[in-house]
Structure 1
Amino acid sequence: LCKALKEDPELRTIPFILLSTLSEPQDIIRGLHCGADNYVTKPYEASFLISRLESLLTTPVGVSDDAEPLEVTLAGEHYTVNSSSQQVLNLLVSTFENAVEKNNELIKTNQELTLAKEQLTIWNEKLEKLNGELER
């Protein structure tokens, strides 16, 4: 769908965000290959998707018929990407922002787990104390 939209001269300036569960670098290269302007991996926070949409709607989509093919080697595989430099930049920035968002989610989850562990330790100490009192 993305590739068909980007190949149509009348529709190619419509911003296209790929929402995907795929998050390997090769998947992002495939997104570039089909002309995607942004790439967001699932699951995602609604606020993050809204910020991506706002960014795309306020920044014109760069489409160039004379884009030089870009040769990319990733994990030993060679790819040829025919995207404008603006599309490449947009996709790289969105991928970076996506990685930062995922990292922030991991930090938050780690903090929640640390707090839960501390609470479990407190409850365990209380239970051990009560068990000791019951054994007397």
Structure 2
Amino acid sequence: MATRLRKSRKQRGSRYCGWGQIGQHRASGSRGGVGGAGKHKHFFIRTIKEEPNHFGHEQFHALRPSDVQKWVNIKELNELVKFSETDKDGKVVLDLDKLGIGKVLGAGILNSAFTIKVRKISDSARNKIISAGGEVIVLDELNTE
């Protein structure tokens, strides 16, 4: 179609060019706002259809996931002795890495002396195990050497 025959050419000189009262078809008001405006108000149905998971958050999502997923205190080691093994020297060895425990913490008292294999251990737990006559083998230190 030739430009001279278009509707917009015919409406030049008229004040509103076919858009009614002042301000219609001008700014963002004619389309309900800019960007994501109205997602919880006048565009809610569209939001539900197109982005059903737009609102809310994942409740059990850790923002900073810890590398230690499971830990145990010294007082609980007394109950875990039933999972221990004895080595060729006759010492009781408790491998917490096989049990899925990543760290030993120092709360409680140790009843007997045994060797503990673990990835991480607190200083207080290490001191209590050694003072009870036991031994600590930290697996991460073995891998770095």
TM-score calculated relative to the size of structure 2: 0.27
Higher helix fraction (1 or 2): 1
Q: Compare CA radii of gyration and give the structure with the larger one.
A: 2
Does 1 or 2 have the higher relative contact order (CA < 8 Å, sep 6+)? 1
